Structure 1
Amino acid sequence: MKTYCVGGAVRDRLLGLAVKDRDYVVVGATPEQMAALGYKPVGKDFPVFLHPHTRDEYALARTERKSGHGYKGFTVYAAPDVTLEQDLARRDLTINAMAEDEAGNLIDPYQGQNDLKAGLLRHVSDAFVEDPVRILRAARFAARYRFTIAAETMALMQQMVQAGEVDHLVAERVWQEFAKGLMEQMPSIMIRTLRDCGALARVLPEIEALFSHQSEGEMLGEHTLRALDYAASEDWDLPTRFAVLCHDLAHTASPEQGSDTLIQQLCDRIKAPAEMRELASLACNEGRQIDAALSLSSEALLDLLLRGDAFRRPERFIQLMDSCVAAARGRSGQARSDYPQALLLSACMSAGKRVDGGAIARATINSADIPQAIRAARLQAVITAQQGILGSASV
C-alpha cells in the first residue's frame, strides 16, 4: 500500500503557487483496508475516503472505461492491482497527471512538467474525448494560467463538439466549471477557447450570438470579453462577472423576445443560480439608464434606484453599478476613462437610504399617505445628493 499526492497540488507547487488542497491516490489497497485505518468513505461513484484527521481526500487507484454518454458514462475499476501510472493515464491534461511520493519524488510519466514549462495544455491520451467536461476544464485552465491549448488537443475538442458529445453535458457540471472559469484571471481566454472548439455555440448560444452583432463599429462579443477581464482585474465577485457577461444581451434580443427571456433560457440551460439571473436581468434592463445617470432628473434617478431595490439591497445595486463600470471599460478606447455615474448613484443611494421610513410612517396621520410621504423625503435626499455631486439638480 503506497500513497501519492496527485493532481493540482503537484502542478501548483511546480508553478511556485500556493497549494490550497491536496488530493491523494492510494495504490495497492482495498476499501476494507482503508476503513480499518479509520478513513471515512464518501464516494458513491468512486472509492474515495477522507483522512481521519486532516480530512484530505484519498482515492483508491482506478481505471475508467467509457460505457455511455456524458460525465457519468463510465465503468470504474478500482483494485489493488491498478498501478499509479494507470490511474494517472485516466486524467485529462498532462499538467494534472503528475504525482509525488511520500519522499517528495516526482512521478511524471506523461511529461507534465515539460508542458508546464512550455505553457501548454495537452491531453494525456485519446481517452480525453470520452468526457465532455474536459473541454470546459481545458478552457478554464487556459484562463487561469494563460496557457496555450496544444493543436492536437484542440483538434480533439473540436471532434467532440462535432460528434455531439457536449450535448450530453450535465447542466450542473457546466455551471460548476463555467463559474470557476469566470473567476479566473483572464475569463476572456475561456470564452475564446470555447469558441475556437465550437462548444460555446452549443452550450451558450446566447453568448456566441454576441460575436455576430455589432455596436459602435465592433462586435459585442469583443466588448464583452474586455469588460469581463476588467471585472477580473478588479477581483469582483461571480454575480457581477456573470452580469458583465450578459450585459450586452439587451442588444441582441428581439423586441418580442426581450433580454429577460434570453437570460432566463441561458440560466435554465446551465442551472445558474437565481441571484445570477436577477443581477444579469437588472444589468440588461437598467444599463442604459445607469449610463445616462448624469443627465437624468432627480425623479428619474429615484425611480432608477427604486427599480434596482437600492435602498433594501444596496450591496446588489453596487454589483449592478460595477457591472456597468466594467461594460464602460470594455468599450474600445475607454479602458482608463472615469465613470462618474457610479459616484452620483452611490451618493443618491446613500442619501435615500438614510431616510427613516418608520419615523415618517409614525408622523403621517393618514396611512394611505405614507408611501408618498416616504417618496417625497427620498426625492429631497436625492436632490440634495445630486446637487452635491453635479452642482445643480434637474427636477
Structure 2
Amino acid sequence: MIRLIVYLPLLVVSAWSCSPTGDNKAAAAPPMPEVKAAQPVRQTVTDWDEFTGHIEAIDAVDVRPRVSGYLDKINFKAGGKVKKGDLLFVIDPKPLKAQLNFAQAELKQAKVKLELAKNDSNRAERLFKVKGISEEEYDSRSKGLAEAAAALQSAQANVETAQLNLDYTEVRSPIDGRITREQLTLGNLVNGGTAGEATLLATIVSTDPVYAYVDADESAVLKYRRTLLKSSQGAVAGERIQVSLALADETDFPHQGFLDYISPREDSATGTVSLRAVFDNPDELLAPGYFARVRIQGSVPYPALLIPDKAIGRDQAQRFVWVVKDNGEVEYRKVTIGPHVDGLRAIKEGVGEGDWVVVEGIQKIRPGAIVKATRISAQSAADEAKP
C-alpha cells in the first residue's frame, strides 16, 4: 500500500503530460522568399577578347660614338626628355681638331702643286708644238698635271673626313624621347666605329605614341581579319579594330588605341599570331617594357539584351539565371553570356526581353519555388552592386 501511494502522483503527472490539448495548432507554412527581379535592357554592345601584352617604344636607339676619344662632357639629365638634335655627350675634340688642321694644310699644298703642274703642262704644250721637247717629255708633264689634280681631290676628301670626325665628337640625339642614365662617367675612353665595336653611352626611347604587342590564337585572329574585311567593304566603313589597355594597378581599361598590324604568319611553335596596337601616350604612363591587359574588339557592334552581372549563377561550367513566371514560380534557365558593359552582362541566349530575371536573393531560391518578387530596373540593380 505504501508503494502505491509513492508512485501514484508520478503516473498521474505522466498521463497528464501526454494528453492532447485544444491549444496545439498545425505548423505554420514558411513565408515566400522575397527577391528582386528586373527585365533585360536592350543595348548595342561589342564583343571583346582579353590578352596579356607588353608595351614597346616605337623608336629605340642605342647612343654610340662614331669616333674614339675621352669623354669630356655629359649634357643631359638621366631619365629626362630629349629632342632630336640635342647635344648629349662631348668627346675630347683636341686630337681631331689637330687632324683637321693637318688635313687643311695638306690641302693648301695640293692646291699649290696643282697650279705648278698646270703651268708646267702649259709650257710643255707650247714647246711640244714647236718641237722644243720630245713627245715623251710632253707626256710626262701632262701626267704630272693629272697626278696633282688627283692629289688635290684626295686632300679635299681628307679635310672633309677630318671635319666629320671633329663634328662627331659632339654626340647628339637622333630622336625625340626619354634617355637612360649614362653608361660611362667623364674621363673614360670610348671607342667609336660600328655598332658592335662602339661603346654604348645611353639609350633613348620614344614615348608618345607607343606599341602594345600581344599573341593571339588562330580563331581570334580570323575574327579580326573578317572585321577588317567588312570594314574595307563598307560594313563598318572608316572604322578600325578598337583596342583598350589596362596597367597592373588599373581595374578598368582607360587607355584607348587601335590595331595596326597582324603578322602575316603563325608561330608554329606556339600556334599564335603576333598583333600590334598603337596607343597615344601624352602622360607617358605606358612605359616601354611594362606588361598590360589588352582588350581587342572581337566583333562589330550588335544589339543585345543585358542583365545585371550579379544575377548570373554558375553551375560547374554552365551559367544560369532564375526567371519569375506570372504565378510567382521561378524557372531555371541556362544562358550564354556576352561582354560586360557598365555593370550589366550581355545575354546571347536564354532570356527574352519580357522575362523577369531574379537579380537579388538568388541564394534563397530552389527550383519550382514560389517567390514574392519586387520589380526594379536592371540598371539600378547594377548600380547597387558597384563598390
Decide: shared fold, TM above 0.5.
Answer: no
Bigger relative CO (Cα 8 Å, ≥ 6 apart)? 2
- Structure with higher Rg: it is 2
Greater share of strand residues, 1 or 2?
2
